[in-house]
Each structure stands twice: as structure tokens, then as C-alpha cells.
Structure 1
Amino acid sequence: MIYKLLPTTEWDEALAAGRLAGTAVDRQDGFVHLSAADQVVETARRHFAGVTGLTLLTVDPARLGDALRWEPSRGGQLFPHLYGPLPVAAVVAAQALPADTPAADAVAALLD
């Protein structure tokens, strides 16, 4: 499985639309940023420190087809990047993070 961390409000909008076009950063970069299991805690730490109202999506990469590419990013690690919208049907779980726990700690607890 791969993961997407995003504001819950954006997930709610994606549910209504049937797909996630991506966050502002995703749209700026031209792809939907995703993380592998061993990367998502650091992603939360680096990009979502102090942010509340987040949801962690668990995504089945087999449902994304050829639009999913593994490309070098942070420290040369290969990260999953989705070139196109993320279909809601590819999301196998969506878990809201508790507001009183740092995002990285909450993500780590969910993955345990």
C-alpha cells in the first residue's frame, strides 16, 4: 500500500467529486505526491508539523495503472507520484488523525 496525507476538507471534496485532483502543492508540481509506508512518517514530520485536521489515505497502487511512477525525490529515495487524479475507488482506507497528536506520531501509530 501507499499513502497520501492531506487536509480532511480536501478529502471530503474528493469524496464528493469521486477523485482527488491533488492538493495545491500537487497541482503546482504536476503530480499527486504519495509516500510508501517507510516514508510517510517523515513526510508528516517535514510537511505537516503543527497542522491539524488531517486524513491519512491508504491507497492500493494496483488500482492506479500506468499513471503511477516511482521517481527519485528526498535523498534520492524513490517516491510514488501519480500523474493524474487519484480515484476515490483506489483508496482502501481513510483515517482522520487526532487533532491533539503531532501528525508524524499519529501516522506512526496508525501504521503500527
Structure 2
Amino acid sequence: MAERYAYKLLDTAEWREAVAEGVFHGSAVDLADGYIHLSTAAQLEETARKHFAGRTDLMRLTVDLEALGDTVVWEPSRGGALFPHIYGPLPTTAVTEATPFAC
């Protein structure tokens, strides 16, 4: 895919822990699925609505996919849309922006 950036929604506490460690290993859902779920800009609103409705304790990470190399795999999900998935940890150095987010 030609996308340079993708987005991750996660708990503020999870982000603080990742910053302290220098790496994000994934949320409970990510760990259960074996990869870290990301969304493109066009997919982010639906992801927020579907998985985080009503949440106010979130962070939106902007992730530089080029910094992650081959750990990013584009795979079909909802209705065949391709979503970026990270197979491995997300180093905080690949996050270009982290902003508070509420659904």
C-alpha cells in the first residue's frame, strides 16, 4: 500500500507504559490476535465507533509505517478492506504524534 502513516487508538495508561519502556507490545486484543491493529485515516472513524464508543481515556498515535519496515502487513478485514497490522512490537520512535482522543 502507498500509505505512509496509520493510526492506533489505545488507553492513555497503555501509552504511558509504552513510553516508559520505549515499545508498545499491544493491547489485550492485539496480543490475542497476534498483531497490533492499525487503521488508515479513512478507517479511523469507523474503528473508533465500532471498538471505542463512549471512551474518553484514549490516545491516537500517528505511526510512521516506513519506520517499521517488513513488520507491517496489509490484510483484509471488514468487508475486504485492507488494514495495516504490525507483526511485532511498536517502537515508540515510530510514533510521530500522540494526541488525546475521545469517542
Which position in structure 2 is the counterpart of 1:93? 97
Aligned equivalents of 2:55, 2:84: Cα separation in 1: 23
Say which of 16, 22, 45 aligns to 2:20.
Answer: 16
Unaligned runs of 5+ in 1: 104-112
Which position in structure 2 is the counterpart of 1:54? 58
Amino acid at match of 2:91: P
Secondary structure, counterpart of 1:64 in structure 2? helix
Equivalent residue runs for 1:28-39 within 5 Å? 28-39=32-43
Secondary structure, counterpart of 2:42 in structure 1? coil
Aligned equivalents of 2:10, 2:47: Cα separation in 1: 11
Amino acid at match of 1:58: T
In the TM superposition, residue 91 of structure 1 has moved relative to its aligned partner by 0.1
* TM-score, length of structure 2 as denominator length: 0.94
Between the two proteins, what is the percent identity of the paired residues?
A: 59
